[in-house]
Amino acid sequence: MARSRAVEAVAAPAAARDPSVRELADMQLVARAQSSADAEAFAELVRRHQARVRGMLLRLCGGDGALADDLAQDVFLRAFRALPRFERRAEFGTWLYRIAYNVFLNHTTRTRRFDPISERTRQREPAPRASHPDRGDVRRDLERAIAQLPVPYRAAVVLYYLRDVSYAEMAEILGLPLGTVKTHLHRARARLREIMLGWDETDDLEEATP
Amino acid sequence: MTARQRALQAFLRGCDVPARVLARDPTGASWLPADLRRWALDDPAAQRTIQRFVAAELALSQAPAPLDDAAFVAAVVERAQRMPRAAAGVDLRATILFVANLLAVVCAAYVLSWAVPGAPEVAGGAVEQALAAAQGAAADAWGLLPGIQGHLAGGIAVLALGVGLLLARRVRLPHTLRA
């Protein structure tokens, strides 16, 4: 089957893409995608936001990259379907993050009901400690620690560390009052450190034991 | 665990040092309390704990995202093009919510005009006349007694209101977000 113009345009290197699309602001792209179902405008929106949406889902999914990418595809497809109804009262990115959070919540509801194994995989053991922390190990341990947090705490901490999300936007994305978001975040960070410091303590005890 | 180790862990649990400071000063010269810092300098386990804490905080503050991926974007766009899109301004749940609430109001007005003697006349009694005609037609068609009709209408009103309220809780779709 021949690939459409929009798909060809997306697959092309950055320099070869339509410069007029690349220079537009998000809301202008949204307007074009809404009014004329401009596939190139939608493709540009996906290209701009995919890394952050996938990153957010990667952390929410405890570092499971394949699952995060599946959910991320679902997020963009839902956004595409709902785009004609997007009223542009929020930032496009905020809207996408909210869809992503909803997709993740739906996934956790489904897997808790039908797949208890995925709950168990959240409790995997951390990597054994080296005397100098390896970046990859730290990242993996961090993802495991995040996966052990309750979902609302997990979402708060993940969104907080996405650099372009304010507290107000976090409240909108999570559908919670601002005060609750701040409380969740405070508790989530404390819990995260507790988990990781607990692993350090266990390792130190094991090292000390002959 | 010694009292100092406990103190170090308690401090690290609650400390709020920006990532840029941690990156600049990973040993804690500027952000660790002086007594903990002096002790940590001579304690390899404490140094490891600090190193791991700093590494985890820096990893958290760095983007976890995979790099831009043209294949991902192409796959999304290709799938999107095979997909039907919602018509602008039409939302099934919002429509059901509107109809359910409208039905609830109509049924409530019907029950009120029928059951409450001396209910205020609306539009010179036109509504009451129309309702009475509808009531008569319903009685002819279904053979229902007025009392049963009232209960039926009340039941429908409660049901419609319930459906409306249930949907109202779920209808906050992303596109309704306010900036």
Distances (CA, A) of A43 to A4, A28, A163, B25: 12, 13, 23, 42
User: Of A56, A88, A122, which one is at a domain's C-terminal end?
Assistant: A122
Task: Please judge whether A10 and B174 are an interchain contact, meaning their C-beta atoms are less than 8 angstroms apart.
Answer: no
Task: Please judge whether A161 and B74 are an interchain contact, meaning their C-beta atoms are less than 8 angstroms apart.
Answer: no
What range defines the domain where residue B160 resides? Answer: 92-176
**Residue B76 sits in the same domain as residue B101:** no
Measured between beta carbons, which residues in chain B are less than 8 angstroms from residue A89? Answer: 176-179
* Cβ neighbours around A60 below 10 Å, total: 29
Contact (Cβ atoms closer than 8 angstroms) between residue A26 and residue A93: yes
What whole-number distance in Å separates Cα of residue A43 and Cα of residue B68?
A: 13
For residue A86, what is the DSSP state?
-
Q: What is the CATH number of the domain that holds A209?
A: 1.10.10.10
Measured between beta carbons, which residues in chain B are less than 8 angstroms from residue A50? Answer: 68-69, 72-73, 76
Percentage above 90 pLDDT, chain A: 36
The token pair at B25 is 């000063």
**Residue A115 sits in the same domain as residue A164:** no
**Residue A116 sits in the same domain as residue A177:** no
Task: Please give the pLDDT value at position A181.
Answer: 94
The HSE-up count of residue B88 (CA atoms within 13 Å, CB side) is 9
For residue A14, pLDDT beyond 60: no
Contact (Cβ atoms closer than 8 angstroms) between residue A185 and residue A161: no
**Residue A61 sits in the same domain as residue A136:** no
User: Of B38, B68, B85, which one is at a domain's C-terminal end?
Assistant: B85
User: Of B85, B114, B142, which one is at a domain's C-terminal end?
Assistant: B85
Structural domain contains residue A143: yes
Task: Please give the pLDDT value at position A36.
Answer: 72
**Residue B101 sits in the same domain as residue B131:** yes
pLDDT classification of A179: cutoffs 50, 70, 90: very high
Q: Please give, rounded to a whole number of angstroms, the shortest distance from the CA of A140 to a CA of chain B.
A: 10
Mean pLDDT of B138-147: 60
For residue B79, pLDDT beyond 60: yes
Task: Please judge whether A133 and B78 are an interchain contact, meaning their C-beta atoms are less than 8 angstroms apart.
Answer: no
For residue A176, pLDDT beyond 90: yes
Measured between beta carbons, which residues in chain B are less than 8 angstroms from residue A200? Answer: 48-49, 52
**Residue A118 sits in the same domain as residue A133:** no
For residue A100, pLDDT beyond 90: yes
**Residue A77 sits in the same domain as residue A2:** yes
Distances (CA, A) of B144 to B55, B116, B138, B152: 76, 19, 7, 10
Q: Please give, rounded to a whole number of angstroms, the shortest distance from the CA of A117 to a CA of chain B.
A: 25
Task: Please judge whether A201 and B173 are an interchain contact, meaning their C-beta atoms are less than 8 angstroms apart.
Answer: no
Mean pLDDT of B116-130: 60
Mean pLDDT of B62-73: 72
Task: Please judge whether B175 and A172 are an interchain contact, meaning their C-beta atoms are less than 8 angstroms apart.
Answer: no
Task: Please judge whether B78 and A143 are an interchain contact, meaning their C-beta atoms are less than 8 angstroms apart.
Answer: no
Give this prediction's pTM. Answer: 0.66
**Residue B1 sits in the same domain as residue B64:** yes
Q: What is the mean pLDDT of chain A?
A: 80
**Residue B2 sits in the same domain as residue B78:** yes
Residue B112 CB partners (closer than 8 Å, separation 6+): B119
Mean pLDDT of A112-120: 52
- Is the CB of B3 inside 8 Å of chain A's CB atoms? no
Structural domain contains residue A1: yes
* Cβ neighbours around A10 below 10 Å, total: 26
**Residue B128 sits in the same domain as residue B76:** no
Q: Please give, rounded to a whole number of angstroms, the shortest distance from the CA of B33 to a CA of chain A.
A: 18
**Residue A26 sits in the same domain as residue A113:** yes
Q: Among the listed ranges A107-121, A183-197, B150-164, which one has the minimum average pLDDT value?
A: A107-121
Of A4, A65, A133, the CB nearest to B81: A4
What range defines the domain where residue A112 resides? Answer: 1-8+18-122
**Residue B117 sits in the same domain as residue B102:** yes
Task: Please give the pLDDT value at position B102.
Answer: 80
When divided into structural domains, chain B yields a total of 2
User: Of A69, A87, A122, which one is at a domain's C-terminal end?
Assistant: A122
What whole-number distance in Å separates Cα of residue B166 and Cα of residue B131?
A: 28
- CA-derived radius of gyration, chain A: 20
- Where does chain A have alpha helices with state H? 5-11, 19-22, 26-36, 39-60, 65-82, 92-114, 116-121, 135-147, 151-160, 167-174, 178-208
When divided into structural domains, chain A yields a total of 2
Handedness of CA B51, B53, B54, B56 (dihedral sign): positive
What whole-number distance in Å separates Cα of residue A185 and Cα of residue B141?
A: 62
Q: In chain A, which residue's Cα lies nearest the Cα of B59?
A: A139
Task: Please give the pLDDT value at position A137.
Answer: 75
Q: Please report the number of interchain residue pairs, chain A to chain B, with beta-carbon separation below 8 angstroms.
A: 168
**Residue A93 sits in the same domain as residue A37:** yes
**Residue A2 sits in the same domain as residue A90:** yes
For residue B66, pLDDT beyond 70: no
**Residue A114 sits in the same domain as residue A132:** no
**Residue B148 sits in the same domain as residue B116:** yes
What whole-number distance in Å separates Cα of residue B179 and Cα of residue B177?
A: 7
Q: Please give, rounded to a whole number of angstroms, the shortest distance from the CA of B161 to a CA of chain A.
A: 24
pLDDT classification of B168: cutoffs 50, 70, 90: low
Structural domain contains residue A110: yes
Task: Please give the pLDDT value at position B177.
Answer: 43
What whole-number distance in Å separates Cα of residue B127 and Cα of residue A135?
A: 75
Task: Please give the pLDDT value at position A16.
Answer: 56
For residue A113, pLDDT beyond 80: no
Say what angle helices B92-115 and B126-142 make with each other, to 10 degrees: 100
Contact (Cβ atoms closer than 8 angstroms) between residue B93 and residue B167: yes
Q: What is the CATH number of the domain that holds A83?
A: 1.10.1740.10
Higher pLDDT among residues A66 and A20, named by residue: A66
Percentage above 70 pLDDT, chain A: 73
**Residue B80 sits in the same domain as residue B96:** no
**Residue B169 sits in the same domain as residue B124:** yes
In tens, the pLDDT along A22-63 reads 888 889 999 888 877 678 889 999 999 998 899 899 889 888
Dmax over CA atoms of chain B, in Å, equals 97
User: Of A76, A91, A122, which one is at a domain's C-terminal end?
Assistant: A122
In tens, the pLDDT along B83-107 reads 766 555 556 667 777 777 788 777 7
**Residue B5 sits in the same domain as residue B40:** yes
**Residue A185 sits in the same domain as residue A198:** yes
ipTM: 0.74
Mean pLDDT of A132-155: 82
Residue B170 CB partners (closer than 8 Å, separation 6+): B93
Measured between beta carbons, which residues in chain A are less than 8 angstroms from residue B91? Answer: 85
Mean pLDDT of A201-209: 59
**Residue A116 sits in the same domain as residue A130:** no
Of A10, A77, A95, the CB nearest to B177: A95
In three-state secondary structure terms, A180 is helix
Task: Please give the pLDDT value at position B140.
Answer: 66
Measured between beta carbons, which residues in chain B are less than 8 angstroms from residue A95? Answer: 174-175, 177
Contact (Cβ atoms closer than 8 angstroms) between residue A172 and residue B177: yes
Structural domain contains residue A13: no
**Residue A199 sits in the same domain as residue A164:** yes
**Residue B70 sits in the same domain as residue B128:** no
Q: Which long-range contacts (CB under 8 A, 24 or more apart) does B124-129 make?
A: none
For residue B150, pLDDT beyond 70: no
